[in-house]
Structure 1
């Protein structure tokens, strides 16, 4: 791809589109199983505890490999080839999901798949960091991690996989997932340019040669608080996506088709809120926006609980509003940690927050949700999700403000008062 082109067809836009498709497909594959759970679980004889354990094991593999991938990303000189290989391997695992014959085989396939999907985001971020125009770096990251995922995984994903499963079966649906994977591998190898990490490092921070120490990151209050907060919001996010399809079909009695449209409302919400929430946090502050939208997320689980099955549109609206939580992710997971520590520790801060959320929140609470569902019914899962965000709401009060514009206004106000 010609890096000298101007306008829409310049390399940067192509890079953003390709990496957005890559990460969107990662999340599409990750949660395809949850959208197909009403088809898969009865055939394989899975109960809610087993299904929750499969999703937890996947999250554990994702968290460990993603954390290692983030820390070692700068050591890889052939990021493009590594990215292509990981995309190919997790696509093969997605196809292999269609061959599962029971709990153990499905568990092993999804664990291996999680190991291959975990490093994709750190590799994507390396391209974004180096090859984005500085003024567009945050925007590009937001498009890739939130809006793109909302469109591909959450909005289109449920509708596509449920329609295919209804027409040709869930196994054939997983077999077909190899096709977009192969297309993405081709696009990566054909169009992406290897990021020059050494040149970027020398121009962005030539004076910083010290080795990154985790103790410096872990001593920071905002890193500690966002790690705790991530446990609850990521637990809410993954648990909602994992069990909502089952709740809608088994408790509310909706058809898989109606379920898929309600789930797609989450994707529509992610697209909108993924742009709105970070922008509001730039203007009004990270802390107040995280606090306010943490409470608004309650619309999703409580809306599903209390809205009658005869009002699927109202359920979809509640999900759309409540999925504002997806827009909080770029704020607490990237903006707050990176603005709170020395720039040379930024990647480690982000990796630490992500690890805490995935390893404790996604792994622990999804497993707990499965156990609760078997013991008390799937409605208990919705109450768990609501409780997680109530706790997250209170945790968010421990964050101290980092938004540059807000801090500048405070400084100017103090200066005016002093005069």
Structure 2
């Protein structure tokens, strides 16, 4: 590797992408751990499916509100680091405390507090990445960061926590997933920095060209932000109805062992990782809108295949990897499209708002409704709810205006959603 290439590789753009990749990945490792550990927790603490849904929902409620509030705070402060550091430390400590829960009430309280600490991570992390990203690889960078929920949250987590719970106890599983967050706290403390003044001014001049006025309410005037919020509600329904009950469906309905379930979920997680950055990369070439439409419809296959196909572990792993391509949508509607529709200084607020609506509706209502449906109609019911959410999202994805630089070229998307020639 020559000096020029080495200098290019070690630039801060790549550094912040990697730091945010691991930070967000470890957040989702902790968030999903309760889902993978539920087959161990339920018989020990005598929880039913409705209680699992409520445990997942209370975290989503607090996650959604906290993400919007603290994402906006980081925008107003002009600093991502000052908000990200304390919440990274908090979610790590709360993971250890979750391992000490002994009843439904304490588990519900701790998961709510966990949601408060974890909710702002995505808006702040992605706002930091937007500030440092080159235009031609913005989609890839944002997708790569968000794909960490697949590699770390959905691939590594089921293997680690199910092994810990099988060998020791479910309490130890929560202790394990709290450690990486502590490591990232010290990494961020040492190496993360807020964008320099010159960089921020340069980006604002680029994105605010010929705009009449920029103020906080501009976030609520963007057509694309509103459409992204609606898509978020339905795709979050897909995500949480599916991910919450897939492990229990595999062990309870298909009678896979916990280890086999962990392998299948890990394969799905690997697919989430791969498609999570491949989809946004494709959108850098094709455009955001056609990519979002395509992968929204593909997302419907994941829960449908799980509900209808009952095969060997290896076959289910392959199907799981391929059908999780729907995860490619999440960086697009949550970050890329809202982020490219507004000036960089509003990205934290826009992402927090999109996350707020999606988590509050899809992340909160879907697990609770899915749990009730599972108790009354069988474990396949939440999977069909998930498929419906993705299908509706695919049709809504025709509505947003294109924001990809390669497709818009000589136009700029304004705060109200209209375009202005450069």
TM-score (norm 2): 0.88
Partner of 2:115: 114
Q: 1:352, 1:179 → 2: CA distance? A: 30
Residues 32-51 of structure 1 mapped to structure 2, 5 A cutoff: 32-51=33-52
Partner of 1:318: 319
Measured after TM superposition, the shift of residue 341 of structure 1 is 4.6
Q: What are structure 2's unaligned runs of at least 5 residues?
A: 1-5, 412-422
Q: 1:91 to 1:322 in 2, by over 3 A?
A: same
Partner of 2:215: 212
TM-score (norm 1): 0.88
Query: The residue matched to 1:327 in structure 2 has which SS?
Result: helix
Q: 1:167, 1:92 → 2: CA distance? A: 23
Residues 295-306 of structure 1 mapped to structure 2, 5 A cutoff: 295-306=297-308
2:289 counterpart of 1:287: yes
Partner of 2:100: 99
Partner of 1:414: none
Q: What are structure 1's unaligned runs of at least 5 residues?
A: 411-419
Q: 2:272, 2:124 → 1: CA distance? A: 23
Q: 2:409, 2:247 → 1: CA distance? A: 45
Partner of 1:195: 194
Query: The residue matched to 2:189 in structure 1 has which SS?
Result: helix
Partner of 1:228: 230
1:248-298 CA-to-partner distances (Å, cap 9, x unmatched) read 101111001000111111211122212322233233333332222222112
Measured after TM superposition, the shift of residue 209 of structure 1 is 9.8
Residues 4-403 of structure 1 mapped to structure 2, 5 A cutoff: 6-76=7-77, 79-146=80-147, 148-192=148-192, 194-196=193-195, 198-205=197-204, 210=213, 212-214=215-217, 216-308=218-310, 310-341=311-342, 345-403=346-404
Measured after TM superposition, the shift of residue 161 of structure 1 is 1.1
Measured after TM superposition, the shift of residue 226 of structure 1 is 2.1
Is the Cα–Cα contact under 8 Å of residues 287 and 407 in structure 2 kept in the other structure? yes
Q: 1:268 to 1:186 in 2, by over 3 A?
A: same
Q: 1:197 to 1:366 in 2, by over 3 A?
A: farther
1:97-124 CA-to-partner distances (Å, cap 9, x unmatched) read 1111111110000000110111222332
Query: The residue matched to 1:397 in structure 2 has which SS?
Result: coil
Q: 1:136, 1:390 → 2: CA distance? A: 29
Is the Cα–Cα contact under 8 Å of residues 240 and 385 in structure 1 kept in the other structure? yes
Query: The residue matched to 1:6 in structure 2 has which SS?
Result: helix
Q: 1:10 to 1:291 in 2, by over 3 A?
A: closer
Paired residues in the alignment total 402
Partner of 1:415: none
